[in-house]
Amino acid sequence: MNPDPSPVPEATPTPVDPAAPANPVPFSPTPAPAPNEPVMAQPQAAPESYAPFGGTPPIAPAQAGPIGSAPNNTVVAPSSPAPSKRKLVVIISSIVGGIILLAIVAAVVNTLFGGVSRADYQAANEQVSAVREAYSESSSAITSTTASYTATEESTQAKIDTAKTALAAFKTEHAKLSGLKAIKNDPEMKEKFAAYETKAKLYFAFCDDYLPSFEKMLVILPKDGETTAATSSATYKQKIAEYEGLGNLTDPDLKAYVASILAMLKEILPFVSEYESASTSSAKLAAANKITAAAKAGNTAGTTLTTNLNARFKDASPSDALTGLVDLTINKIRS
């Protein structure tokens, strides 16, 4: 068994430090009129009587004419009283004051119940960067184990232990993301996090299937310092027993690989016995050719395993989603 699956983890660029925020746009006052432009005088409203509670204002008394003239009995029609300038100023001030108060209340509520500050985005950026670094270490450790099928049991066990530790660290950093204020309260951040989390769950599922299954397969690898025994029917019977003893594996690709190799070994065993009992060179050559033909199934199984593991590893990689999340936090900090 000598496949060489080597999924290559994606590179993890260092997060970019956020730039300083853009300068605010200054307020532009309304320009004063030109020096030579005439200014129209504003008419002054004549004082009017005030009628409380919407009553009819009293009729203005008749104005006296010149001495000796007839009295002026013309009745002036009442008109609606116009609000005084003071009342208008009070009303406008009340409206403006109410708007300012509402703005202050909205700002306080936004801060207490969902507002996301620049510090919140900075905290998210730092944590996402920590997650991406942890993922990089985990994926590198997983890759290391997949290149170990022809190594010894002890050296491969060490690599599996390293991969399990790195995976646990990745899960720990990942769990810190969902509680961040920027991710919980910013819709864009929440959407990017959801895309990343989908990939992360695929990666966790891949590792949780692959590592325990491959660890069970270590018994079929040679021990440190052990030499390969001569090919014999006894050797094949021992290998068949080892593969059958693996039991049920949770990783689907390793399970399919073991089934293929086991079927190949059982097919080769009678040809090995035939080779051992052959009395002529031609008979031995014929048996050897049968062994060689049957052994091709092992090469096919190894190639299939490599292809499938690489495809699953790549599909489960959250690297691109993490990069998108990092970029968004940087844009939020800069805005």
Give the pLDDT band of residue 129 (cuts 50, 70, 90).
very high
Give the pLDDT band of residue 88 (cuts 50, 70, 90).
low
Round to whole Å and give the CA distance between 40 and 15.
63
Write down the pLDDT at residue 278.
Answer: 94
Q: Where are the alpha helices (H) located in the chain, listed in sequence order?
A: 85-112, 118-146, 153-175, 181-185, 187-216, 233-244, 252-277, 281-316, 319-334
pLDDT digits (tens, 9 = 90+) for 131-143: 999 999 999 999 9
**Residue 107 in tokens:** 């700002």
- How is residue 36 annotated by DSSP? T
Closest by alpha carbon to 269, among 229, 235, 245, 236? 236
pLDDT digits (tens, 9 = 90+) for 12-57: 333 333 333 333 333 233 333 344 443 333 444 444 443 333 333 3
What number is the average pLDDT over the span 227-256? 87
What number is the average pLDDT over the span 185-202? 96
- The pTM score is 0.64
Give the pLDDT band of residue 335 (cuts 50, 70, 90).
confident
Write down the pLDDT at residue 26.
Answer: 31
